């Protein structure tokens, strides 16, 4: 079999004996139209005329073809349908036509010949239904009837798909305890199907009359979920193919069945410049070592990436198996993807910074231990909570050992409601009949009056809002390294400012106390030195500042973010940041250094660029004004900056979805079903934006295996 269907080849084959696929392929390739060398010389009186073949002649006659070996013209349909007939004497199929003088007459004669008309008819109908079937009205009616039934079947299946999507989007269990027709607990999916049937006549008729395919069995549910997952992943893969760079995020946890689950999330930019983070899959690795985890990540990358240089970064938590510089996952991935720079999740690092700062001295550790006593006091007693709601009107949030944004809420709530909490403890002491409750309430009452506790509560009430602002910025999907760098600088300034004003906390607290509390505090002051406490509080601030500089230093691949710090554009306009440029070229060798230097120089000097905020905004500015080509290197760098994730917050969100989907009552769920249901919940917005999602799922559903019901349309042609 060959794709070079020239005249010499067509003359040697017996076309009628070829397989149908080969015949159709020859027809689809079309007639050979080489520029043949035909020159005819004629004499008239004393003058000599030359006629040469022009390639434009092929356009005037749709069946004309040529041979550049014999330098002759042929009839393409007749070559196919008459060349194997030895009795056919036509020069259009044997020797070829070389007479250009009488070519027009020969063409007209050929077009009117029976053999040509027969060959042309056979050529045009090749690959189509038999002509008798096309003319058969009964056959046409049967096709139309079949298509009507297929349309109805696909409509019903689309309604079933909508019910599955609804359950997945709202993380509802599809199956019930018993899914029989007479069951009182058939499950949400069957209940939703039955409810939809009451509103849709076609669905109701299908459920009542169907004998071979109702579409409500657990096998059909699994098939549909698998098809939906396939369609979603195909869409994500298509988006990644259209993006220049992609980053991968991963994290691990244990589900309700104590099964190790690793989530994989991709981050990339859409054509409009917006960054997106897409859930890909949950994976259950065979082992928990770096090699096994890296193998799972590499398998996902090989499936979605066409070019390994497309992977621009990888982001994990600080666990040694993931972040190890010698044998960790990030090192194993970097060995195969040279631009896959590692980024330690900045939200995890913020937790580590605050843990380090609050454990630097004994008083800070004691304060948070005492703070947790307040939340624990109300955690296991409805009676205490009832009094708390009555007196304070606000619950005390539970703290967390690793999530500092939870401790922020606890500190703020206790600070803002301290007097109300004192009143609450006094009421619990006077009304409770349990000695344990009275004892604990008394201890907490003394704690809320304790000047040292009040001091540290005031210190962290000042510090924590700044931590919360930075934490919230890190949690955003649309954040980028340029924006994060600006927020970190602002955070450092605010912590430094709080450090310088810590000594004023004592006077403020005295001013807010009543006279009896002031006397009590003055007696306490004789026994406690506030000078050392203030020094310790400043030490906490110093530790935060030192850890911020150590952990959040933008070096290596992150140093490129300095090039687009808007607050420095005015300085850079006169003093170009050559150091940051060289670092960018060193870490991203695909960049053109000269062009990358020229483009920012223009950006620094223009005032309109100084109004943008962050790399995402600047990238969108270039896209909206069609500057991607003119500022190609800047566009590439900004895409890389925006694609690099600063946190693995999206992975944590996926774990939250995992806990809602795989519960105690659904603990035996398989990995494929779990991933599909998670995809329907996490990426429900993306699913709504996929055009003809249900139709794509139906096509995937049909292709999986032969169904006992018709879903495929037929055509008469």
Q: Is residue 1 part of a domain?
A: no
* pLDDT value, residue 463: 92
* pLDDT value, residue 233: 96
Q: How confident is the model at residue 708 (pLDDT cuts 50, 70, 90)?
A: confident
Q: Is residue 474 part of a domain?
A: yes
Whether 368 and 493 map to the same domain: the answer is yes
Whether 437 and 539 map to the same domain: the answer is yes
Residue where a domain stops, chosen among 580, 615, 643:
643
Is the C-alpha dihedral spanning 137, 140, 146, 148 positive or negative?
negative
Does 132 score more than 70 pLDDT?
no
* pLDDT value, residue 667: 80
Q: Is residue 709 part of a domain?
A: yes
- Residues 383-392 pLDDT 10s: 999 998 999 8
Phi/psi class of residue 626: alpha, beta or left (left: φ > 0; alpha: ψ in -120 to 50)?
left
- Residues 208-224 pLDDT 10s: 988 888 888 888 999 99
- Residues 587-627 pLDDT 10s: 888 888 899 999 999 988 888 788 788 889 999 989 998 98
Residue 270 is encoded by which pair of tokens? 């859409």
Q: Is residue 408 part of a domain?
A: yes
Q: Is residue 430 part of a domain?
A: yes
Query: Which parts of 170-278 fold into alpha helices (H)?
Result: 188-199, 201-209, 218-242
CA angle 700-705-711, nearest 5°? 65
Does 530 score more than 70 pLDDT?
no
Whether 409 and 474 map to the same domain: the answer is yes
363 lies in which domain range? 350-551
Q: Which of 270-279, 359-368, 391-400 shows the highest mean pLDDT?
A: 270-279
Does 527 score more than 50 pLDDT?
no
Whether 637 and 652 map to the same domain: the answer is no
- Residues 234-250 pLDDT 10s: 999 999 999 999 999 99
Task: Decide if 370 contacts 456 (C-beta within 8 A).
Answer: no
Q: How confident is the model at residue 403 (pLDDT cuts 50, 70, 90)?
A: low
Does 517 score more than 70 pLDDT?
no
The domain total for the chain is 5
Whether 145 and 175 map to the same domain: the answer is yes
Tell me the C-alpha distance between 385 and 377, whole Å: 9
Residue where a domain stops, chosen among 68, 97, 127:
127
User: Rounded mean pLDDT of 691-714?
Assistant: 89
Does 151 score more than 90 pLDDT?
yes
Q: How confident is the model at residue 407 (pLDDT cuts 50, 70, 90)?
A: confident
User: Greater confidence, 181 or 556?
Assistant: 556
* pLDDT value, residue 673: 92
User: Rounded mean pLDDT of 562-583?
Assistant: 88
Q: What is the CATH number of the domain that holds 259?
A: 3.30.420
Does 520 score more than 80 pLDDT?
no
Query: Which parts of 501-613 fold into alpha helices (H)?
Result: 505-512, 515-525, 530-551, 569-572, 578-587, 593-605
pLDDT averaged over the chain?
Answer: 86
User: Rounded mean pLDDT of 282-296?
Assistant: 91
Residue 214 is encoded by which pair of tokens? 């109702």
Residue 423 is encoded by which pair of tokens? 């009143």
Of 341, 253, 247, 263, nearest to 301 by C-alpha is 247
The percentage of residues in the chain with a pLDDT greater than 70, rounded to a whole number, is 91
3-state secondary structure of 97: strand
The percentage of residues in the chain with a pLDDT greater than 90, rounded to a whole number, is 38
Residue where a domain stops, chosen among 127, 155, 186:
127
* pLDDT value, residue 515: 44
- Residues 317-360 pLDDT 10s: 878 888 888 889 999 999 999 899 999 998 889 888 988 888 88
User: Rounded mean pLDDT of 160-186?
Assistant: 81
Does 87 score more than 60 pLDDT?
no
Q: Is residue 634 part of a domain?
A: yes
Does 177 score more than 50 pLDDT?
yes
Is the C-alpha dihedral spanning 327, 332, 338, 342 positive or negative?
negative
- Which has the minimum average pLDDT: 181-185, 279-283, 419-423, 670-674? 181-185
* pLDDT value, residue 250: 94
* pLDDT value, residue 359: 86
Give every CB contact of residue 367 below 8 A, 6+ residues apart in sequence: 453, 456, 457, 460
Phi/psi class of residue 51: alpha, beta or left (left: φ > 0; alpha: ψ in -120 to 50)?
beta
- Residues 432-479 pLDDT 10s: 888 999 999 999 999 999 888 999 999 999 998 999 899 888 888 888
Does 521 score more than 80 pLDDT?
no
Whether 497 and 356 map to the same domain: the answer is yes
Does 525 score more than 60 pLDDT?
no
Does 400 score more than 80 pLDDT?
no
User: Rounded mean pLDDT of 277-301?
Assistant: 93
Does 228 score more than 90 pLDDT?
yes
* pLDDT value, residue 461: 92
Residue appearing with tokens 């231990």: 369
Whether 86 and 154 map to the same domain: the answer is no
- Which has the minimum average pLDDT: 181-190, 248-257, 373-382, 423-432? 181-190
Whether 119 and 167 map to the same domain: the answer is no
Whether 306 and 407 map to the same domain: the answer is no
Whether 605 and 670 map to the same domain: the answer is no
Written as one string, the DSSP assignment of 336-351 is: HSTT-EEEE-HHHHHH
Which of the 8 DSSP states describes residue 709?
Answer: S
Q: Is residue 2 part of a domain?
A: no
Whether 41 and 121 map to the same domain: the answer is yes
- Which has the minimum average pLDDT: 25-34, 181-190, 405-414? 181-190
- Which has the minimum average pLDDT: 105-109, 110-114, 127-131, 544-548? 127-131
Whether 171 and 220 map to the same domain: the answer is yes
CA distances from 187 to 179, 191, 715 (A): 7, 6, 40
User: Rounded mean pLDDT of 542-547?
Assistant: 92
Q: Is residue 712 part of a domain?
A: yes
Give every CB contact of residue 20 below 8 A, 6+ residues apart in sequence: 127
3-state secondary structure of 46: coil
Long-range contacts of 397-404 (CB under 8 A, 24+ apart): 399/368, 399/371, 399/372, 399/375, 402/351, 403/351, 404/350, 404/351, 404/354, 404/355, 404/467, 404/471
Task: Decide if 373 contacts 384 (C-beta within 8 A).
Answer: no
């Amino acid at each position: 079999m060959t794709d070079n269907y020239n005249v010499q080849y067509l003359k040697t084959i017996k076309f009628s004996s070829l397989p149908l696929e080969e015949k159709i392929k020859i027809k689809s390739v079309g007639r050979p139209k080489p520029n043949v060398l035909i020159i005819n010389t004629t004499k008239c009186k004393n003058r000599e005329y030359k006629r040469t073949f022009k390639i434009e002649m092929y356009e005037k006659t749709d069946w004309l073809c040529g041979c550049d070996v014999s330098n002759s013209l042929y009839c393409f349909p007749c070559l196919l349908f008459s060349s194997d007939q030895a009795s056919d004497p036509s020069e259009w199929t044997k020797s070829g036509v070389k007479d250009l003088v009488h070519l027009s007459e020969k063409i007209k004669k050929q077009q009117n010949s029976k053999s040509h008309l027969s060959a042309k008819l056979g050529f045009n109908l090749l690959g189509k239904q038999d002509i008798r079937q096309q003319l058969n009205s009964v056959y046409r009616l049967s096709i139309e009837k079949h298509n009507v039934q297929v349309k109805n079947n696909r409509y019903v299946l689309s309604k079933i798909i909508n019910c599955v999507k609804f359950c997945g989007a709202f993380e509802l269990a599809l199956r019930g305890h018993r899914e029989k027709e007479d069951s009182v607990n058939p499950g949400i999916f069957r209940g939703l199907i039955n409810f939809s049937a009451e509103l849709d006549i076609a669905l109701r008729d299908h459920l009542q009359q169907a004998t071979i395919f109702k579409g409500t069995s657990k096998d059909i549910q699994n098939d549909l979920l698998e098809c939906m997952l396939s369609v979603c992943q195909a869409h994500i893969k298509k988006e990644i193919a259209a993006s220049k760079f992609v980053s991968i995020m991963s994290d691990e946890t244990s589900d309700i069945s104590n099964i190790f689950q690793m989530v994989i999330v991709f981050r990339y930019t859409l054509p409009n410049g917006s960054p997106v983070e897409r859930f890909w899959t949950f994976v259950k690795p065979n082992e928990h070592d770096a090699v096994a985890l890296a193998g799972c990540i590499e398998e996902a990358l090989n499936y979605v990436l066409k070019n390994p240089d497309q992977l621009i970064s990888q982001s994990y938590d600080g666990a040694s198996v993931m972040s190890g510089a010698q044998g960790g996952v990030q090192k194993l991935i970097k060995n195969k993807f040279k631009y896959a720079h590692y980024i330690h999740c900045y939200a995890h690092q913020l937790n580590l910074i605050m843990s380090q700062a609050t454990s630097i001295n004994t008083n800070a550790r004691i304060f948070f231990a005492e703070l947790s006593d307040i939340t624990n006091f109300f955690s296991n007693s409805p009676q205490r909570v009832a009094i708390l709601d009555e007196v304070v009107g606000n619950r005390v949030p539970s703290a967390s050992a690793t999530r500092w944004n939870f401790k922020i809420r606890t500190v703020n709530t206790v600070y803002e409601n301290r007097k109300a909490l004192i009143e609450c403890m006094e009421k619990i002491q006077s009304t409770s009949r349990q000695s344990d409750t009275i004892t604990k309430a008394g201890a907490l009452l003394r704690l809320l009056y304790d000047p040292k506790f009040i001091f540290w509560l005031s210190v962290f009430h000042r510090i924590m809002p700044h931590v919360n602002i930075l934490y919230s910025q890190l949690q955003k999907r649309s954040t980028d390294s340029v924006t994060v760098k600006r927020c970190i600088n602002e955070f450092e300034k605010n912590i430094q400012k709080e450090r310088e004003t810590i000594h004023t906390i004592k006077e403020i607290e005295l001013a807010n106390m009543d006279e009896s509390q002031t006397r009590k505090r003055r007696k306490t002051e004789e026994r406690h030195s506030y000078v050392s406490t203030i020094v310790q509080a400043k030490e906490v601030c110093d530790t935060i500042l030192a850890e911020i500089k150590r952990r959040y230093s933008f070096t290596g691949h992150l140093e490129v973010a300095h090039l687009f710090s808007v607050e420095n554009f005015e300085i850079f306009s006169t003093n170009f940041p050559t150091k940051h440029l060289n670092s960018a070229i060193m870490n991203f060798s695909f960049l053109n250094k000269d062009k990358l230097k020229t483009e920012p120089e223009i950006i620094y000097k223009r005032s309109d660029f100084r109004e943008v905020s962050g790399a995402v905004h600047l990238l969108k500015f270039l896209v909206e004004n069609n500057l991607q080509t003119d500022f190609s290197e800047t566009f590439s760098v900004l895409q890389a900056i925006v694609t690099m994730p600063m946190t693995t917050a999206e992975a944590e969100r996926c774990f939250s979805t995992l806990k809602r989907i795989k519960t105690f009552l659904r603990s035996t769920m398989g990995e494929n079903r779990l991933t599909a249901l998670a995809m329907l919940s996490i990426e429900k917005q993306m699913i709504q934006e996929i055009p003809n999602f249900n139709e794509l799922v139906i096509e995937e559903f049909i292709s999986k295996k032969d169904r006992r019901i018709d879903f495929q349309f037929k055509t008469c042609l």
